């Protein structure tokens, strides 16, 4: 039972910020499964690109991951590339805020 609750929390923390960002920016496909598939595709693209480029620092990896995530969002969510970059940035901000809020709530308990 705890595993199911943990999986629901992880999906909520990862997919819901993407869903909110896609709706705010104006993506054509903003369903939960579209967002989950876009997120999984972004991870796969980033892993493949990370394997091709050896010796990438953490800062450079962050800068490379934004356009790669935008490419995945463009393909799945039905947006343009610039809107995909905006979705990636807004999703990152929402995710950081959600993790901080969740962490402070759990620390207060």
Number of domains in the chain: 1
* Confidence at residue 78, expressed as pLDDT on a 0 to 100 scale: 92
Distance, CA of 106 to CA of 94 (rounded, Å): 18
Cα–Cα nearest to 42, from 17, 75, 82, 19: 75
Whole-prediction pTM: 0.84
Contact 23, 43 (CB under 8 A): no
Residue 7 located in a structural domain: no
pLDDT at 28 over 90: yes
Residue 9 located in a structural domain: no
Scan for tokens 């990636």, then name that residue: 88
Which residues make Cβ contacts (< 8 Å) with residue 53, sequence separation at least 6? 64
Residue 102 located in a structural domain: yes
Write out pLDDT tens, residues 8-27. 888 888 899 999 999 999 99
Residue 32: give the domain boundaries.
14-108
Residue 38 located in a structural domain: yes
Please report which confidence band the pLDDT of residue 103 belongs to, taking 50, 70 and 90 as the band edges: confident
Write out pLDDT tens, residues 34-88. 999 999 999 898 888 877 887 777 777 778 888 989 999 999 999 999 999 999 9
Residue 4 located in a structural domain: no
* Confidence at residue 56, expressed as pLDDT on a 0 to 100 scale: 74
pLDDT at 90 over 90: yes
* Confidence at residue 62, expressed as pLDDT on a 0 to 100 scale: 79
* Confidence at residue 18, expressed as pLDDT on a 0 to 100 scale: 93
């Amino acid at each position: 039972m705890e595993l199911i609750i943990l999986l629901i929390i992880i999906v909520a923390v990862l997919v819901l910020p993407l869903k909110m960002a896609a709706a705010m920016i104006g993506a054509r496909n903003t369903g939960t499964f579209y967002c989950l598939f876009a997120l999984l595709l972004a991870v796969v693209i980033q892993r493949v690109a990370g394997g091709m480029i050896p010796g990438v620092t953490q800062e450079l990896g962050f800068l490379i991951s934004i356009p790669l995530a935008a490419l995945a969002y463009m393909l799945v969510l039905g947006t343009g590339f610039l809107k995909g970059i905006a979705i990636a940035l807004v999703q990152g901000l929402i995710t950081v805020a959600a993790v901080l809020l969740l962490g402070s709530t759990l620390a207060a308990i």
